[in-house]
């Protein structure tokens, strides 16, 4: 039996389905998903294997010192379940799951576990923590990594057992969408997701504020109210904020978007430099040109296609003009071709992920 171990609610670990979808497709039901039900809400199980939950409510947004007893409780629960179930193999979802299981993984399950590495945690601040993570990678059968941009910060060389695992539940499918280029004004720049980095985004708003060629819209929670108040104070009439939304709303947002805002400043946050943001996949799915931060790994991954513009905040004086001329120079046929090529690249990566998982299961 295979144990898939996570450290959060199922609905906050959608990448779990990337594994279970493939196992279910192979008619493998001899697996269990162990997770922490932090909300007390019972969510629908979208996989064929058994689900084992640790039911203890905790507010995820509390400071760590107020959650430590709950975290320790779940750590002991994970270890107990693994000991009692005697799983043959393990799939470990994220670093907060892997670190409390470090001794079990590196001693009893060496070469018998997959380490799903999603994001940087404390690796850039603690050499000791980085050493632990590097050993977890080295002792795994495969490490599925959401971005190869993390390799540099981890000081880890790329090997055949480190596989790119895109932040998609399934192979990136476009579902027949075609690129559209807005030949009229205003050009609609739209952001959706968790609104972060208020200092950076207020500067970003300054670039487009009251420029009649553009509108700028933010959909999502986070620091949007702080940015909204700033824009109101500046008297920007073309910048809008809508707040919280449902995932099902994204398709509607896409219909009203000419350029997707996927710009994250990374000088103070290494994760933003090295991650492959989910909005890249949205851009591929809906065929929307996107703005990326110059020098970021996601920009490197996308490559030199016309579908993206690299934002350099050191050139803010000409930035709005540069984006305007870039967008006006885009041809629909070129966009469709570029997105098709980028989609093939993601598809090839995901096929490698799938083959590695099959190899792991069948070995």
Q: Mark whether 99 and 238 lie in a shared domain.
A: no
What is the enclosing helix (H) or strand (E) of 200?
helix 198-208
Q: What is the mean pLDDT of the chain?
A: 92
Q: Mark whether 200 and 336 lie in a shared domain.
A: yes
Q: Has residue 104 been placed in a domain?
A: yes
Residue-level pLDDT at 248: 86
- Exposure string over 111-123, b if 16+ CB within 10 A, otherwise e: ebbbbbbbebbeb
The secondary structure of the chain in percent helix, strand, coil, rounded to multiples of 5, reads 45, 20, 35
Q: Mark whether 251 and 104 lie in a shared domain.
A: no
pLDDT at 146 over 60: yes
pLDDT at 152 over 70: yes
* The overall pTM is greater than 0.85: yes
Q: Has residue 353 been placed in a domain?
A: no
Nearest C-alpha neighbor of 240 from the set 259, 213, 256, 219: 219
Cα 51 vs. chain centroid, distance in angstroms?
Answer: 24
Q: Mark whether 131 and 207 lie in a shared domain.
A: no
Q: Mark whether 258 and 212 lie in a shared domain.
A: yes
Q: Choose the final residue of a domain: 107, 135, 165.
A: 165
Judged by DSSP in three states, 284 sits in: helix
CA Rg, the chain, in Å? 22
Residue-level pLDDT at 171: 46
Q: Mark whether 160 and 271 lie in a shared domain.
A: no
Q: Has residue 308 been placed in a domain?
A: yes
Q: Has residue 291 been placed in a domain?
A: yes
Q: Has residue 191 been placed in a domain?
A: yes
Backbone angles phi, psi at 12, to 5 degrees: -100, 5
Q: Mark whether 9 and 152 lie in a shared domain.
A: yes
**Domain count across the chain:** 2
pLDDT tens across 166-224, in order?
A: 987 654 555 567 888 999 999 999 999 989 899 999 999 999 999 999 999 999 988 88
By the 8 A CB rule, do 264 and 277 touch? Answer: yes
Q: Mark whether 286 and 150 lie in a shared domain.
A: no
pLDDT at 164 over 90: yes
Nearest C-alpha neighbor of 327 from the set 194, 174, 195, 208: 208
pLDDT tens across 230-243, in order?
A: 999 999 999 999 99
Residue-level pLDDT at 355: 96
- Exposure string over 273-291, b if 16+ CB within 10 A, otherwise e: bbbbbbbbbbbbbbbbbbb
Q: Mark whether 110 and 248 lie in a shared domain.
A: no
Q: Has residue 180 been placed in a domain?
A: no
pLDDT tens across 276-286, in order?
A: 998 999 999 99
Pairing between strand 214-219 and 187-192?
parallel
ω into 206 cis (within 30 of 0): no
By the 8 A CB rule, do 27 and 48 touch? Answer: no
Q: Has residue 70 been placed in a domain?
A: yes
Lowest mean pLDDT among 2-6, 78-82, 133-137, 166-170: 166-170
Q: Mark whether 19 and 142 lie in a shared domain.
A: yes
pLDDT tens across 315-343, in order?
A: 889 999 999 999 999 999 999 999 999 99
Q: Has residue 328 been placed in a domain?
A: yes
Domain limits at 192?
187-342
Residue-level pLDDT at 170: 54
Q: Mark whether 82 and 201 lie in a shared domain.
A: no
Lowest mean pLDDT among 20-24, 55-59, 255-259: 55-59
Residue-level pLDDT at 247: 82
Query: Which CATH number does the domain housing residue 148 bear?
Result: 3.40.50.2000
Rounded to whole angstroms, the Cα distance separating 89 from 93 reads 13
Residue-level pLDDT at 219: 96
Q: What is the mean pLDDT of residues 17-33?
A: 94
Q: Mark whether 150 and 196 lie in a shared domain.
A: no
């Amino acid at each position: 039996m295979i144990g898939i171990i996570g450290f959060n609610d199922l609905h906050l670990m959608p990448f779990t389905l990337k594994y279970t979808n493939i196992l279910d497709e192979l008619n493998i039901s001899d697996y269990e998903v162990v997770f922490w039900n932090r909300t007390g809400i019972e969510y629908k199980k979208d996989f064929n294997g058994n689900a084992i939950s640790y039911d203890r409510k905790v507010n995820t947004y509390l400071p760590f010192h107020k959650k430590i007893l709950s975290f320790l409780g779940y750590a002991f629960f994970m270890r107990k379940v693994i000991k009692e179930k005697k799983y043959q193999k393990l799939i470990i979802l994220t670093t907060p799951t892997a670190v409390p299981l470090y001794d079990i993984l590196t001693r009893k399950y060496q070469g018998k576990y997959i380490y799903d590495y999603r994001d940087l945690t404390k690796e850039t601040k603690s050499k000791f923590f980085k050493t632990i993570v590097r050993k977890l990678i080295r002792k795994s059968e495969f490490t599925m990594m959401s971005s190869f941009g993390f390799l540099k910060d981890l000081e880890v060389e790329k090997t055949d057992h480190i596989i790119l695992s895109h932040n998609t539940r399934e192979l990136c499918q476009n579902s027949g969408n075609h690129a559209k280029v807005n030949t009229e004004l205003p050009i609609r720049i739209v952001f959706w997701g968790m609104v972060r980095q208020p200092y950076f985004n207020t500067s970003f708003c300054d670039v487009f504020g009251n420029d009649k060629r553009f509108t700028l819209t933010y959909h999502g929670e986070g620091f949007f109210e702080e940015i909204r108040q700033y824009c109101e104070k500046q008297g920007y009439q073309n910048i809008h904020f809508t707040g919280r939304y449902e995932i099902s709303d994204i398709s509607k947002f896409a219909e009203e978007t000419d350029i997707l805002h996927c710009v994250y400043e990374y000088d103070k946050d290494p994760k933003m430099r090295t991650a492959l943001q989910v909005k890249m996949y949205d851009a591929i799915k809906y065929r929307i040109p996107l703005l990326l931060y110059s020098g970021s790994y996601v920009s490197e991954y996308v490559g030199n296609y016309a579908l993206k513009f690299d934002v350099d905040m050191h050139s803010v004086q000409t930035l709005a003009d540069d984006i305007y001329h870039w967008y006006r120079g885009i041809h629909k046929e070129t966009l469709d071709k570029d997105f098709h090529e980028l989609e093939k690249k993601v598809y090839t990566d995901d096929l490698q992920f799938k083959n590695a998982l099959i190899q792991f299961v069948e070995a």
